[in-house]
Structure 1
Amino acid sequence: METVLIAGGTGLVGQALTNQLLSQGVHVILLTRSISSAKKKFSEHPLLEYAVWDPAKKSIDQTLFSRVQHIVNLAGAGVADKRWSDARKKEISE
């Protein structure tokens, strides 16, 4: 069975991708800062798994990488979340 690791899976595109993959029988591991918040965005599904990842702390469970065939990174600052100040532009580009 294919397993996909998704960072940023709770955003608009991430939710759509996650639901599409699950409907195709793909095992999905969502990286999230808050499992409880992420679970509010998805129905229970036997192929959906959550893993904690805090980019600010730069730590992640390294064993996840040996379990997946594909990694999708959708994490980052949302481009429509806030006004585009100079500070926000810098945050988005980093």
Structure 2
Amino acid sequence: MEKIIKKITEIDKKALNIKEETERVLEENKKKIEKTLMEIETKELKKAKEIGEKEYNKLLEEGEKSANQIINEGNKYINKLNQIYETKHTELSQKILKKY
């Protein structure tokens, strides 16, 4: 009977040790998983930031290109108006001078 009780006690101790070891391994794995998830999240956030910056720079470049085209067209229009003004001003000045 004593051997049986001793055997049961040994089995209980082994079961307790197995339970504690399992809990320890689970806790370690949980920490590893959390660390890995944090690394993945950081990596993905960095990628997203890089993609966002590239897209922003692309849009900024396109906007600057469009703005420059508008400015160039405006300058052409201003130059054309100045030429017309100068031509008309010269014509009117000559007409006025001929009259006097």
The TM-score by the shorter chain falls in which range?
under 0.3
**Structure that is richer in strand per residue:** 1
**Structure that is richer in helix per residue:** 2
Report the TM-score, using the length of structure 1 for normalisation.
0.16
Report the TM-score, using the length of structure 2 for normalisation.
0.15
